[in-house]
Amino acid sequence: MNERSWERAGAASGLVAAVLLLVSLLLNPLSPPSDEPVRTYFYVTENRPTVLLAALLSTVAAVIFLWFVGHLRHLLQRAEGGAEAFSPVVFGAGVSLATMTMLSMLPATALVSLSRNVETASQAMVFVLAELHRLSLGGLGLLVALFAAAAGAAVVRGELLAPWLGWFGFGVGLIGLIAGVTSFYMPSVFVSVAGLVTGIVFALWIGAASVLMVYRPEVDRAPAAGTAFAH
């Protein structure tokens, strides 16, 4: 497998992750406010398969996204000639984002398990689990902001892809920043909507970048500086 094929495989992983994330968001777009535990409990009970599938798809998307993050680190290191300008930040933010995404799915899966046993369910437990999920959206928004800003800056500098995609990344980062900061102060309904919007635009951005990289691998336009894979 030559370097061009490896690049296309890495780029395709981003597209798969974006599609899975988008599907998971649309499957379970807006749950009841976390401060209404009774509504939350009955929502999860009535939509148990959908909630569980959405959590599964988000978790799988996060795992596959790690491959894409590793792919980006390789491309940025090569483009930066070892200067390590943006590649460490993109890699660290991407790994943290994937990890935070998987952790944020735990309260939802715990709610599904709780809904199967009415005797052990209580309003306090439901409230805590729903609130944990809501609070995790703040961290996710801030990590999206860091990842999108760092990757967008690298693109605008000409290290990857087309400049317009870098400006798109800045826009995604701004949305993530607003969603992340306001999640600590705004009502849960607003936080859920902001989290949904952030997730959708982030998935669209990653999907667009992946399609461009599959269509034209960076090795085709990068300076011939020694390959990382054997031909």
Containing domain of residue 216, as a range? Answer: 3-220
Residue 231 lies in a domain: no
Residue 104 lies in a domain: yes
Tens digit of each residue's pLDDT (9 = 90 or more) over 28-62:
867 777 667 778 878 888 888 898 999 999 999 99
3-state secondary structure 42-84: HHHHHCHHHHHHHHHHHHHHHHHHHHHHHHHHHHHHHHHCCCC
- The per-residue pLDDT of the chain, averaged, comes to 84
- State mean pLDDT over 218-228: 49
Residue 113 lies in a domain: yes
Residue 229 lies in a domain: no
Residue 90 lies in a domain: yes
| Number of folded domains that form the chain | 1
Residue 143 lies in a domain: yes
The per-residue pLDDT for 222 is 52
Tens digit of each residue's pLDDT (9 = 90 or more) over 107-116:
888 888 887 7
Residue 121 lies in a domain: yes
Residue 226 lies in a domain: no
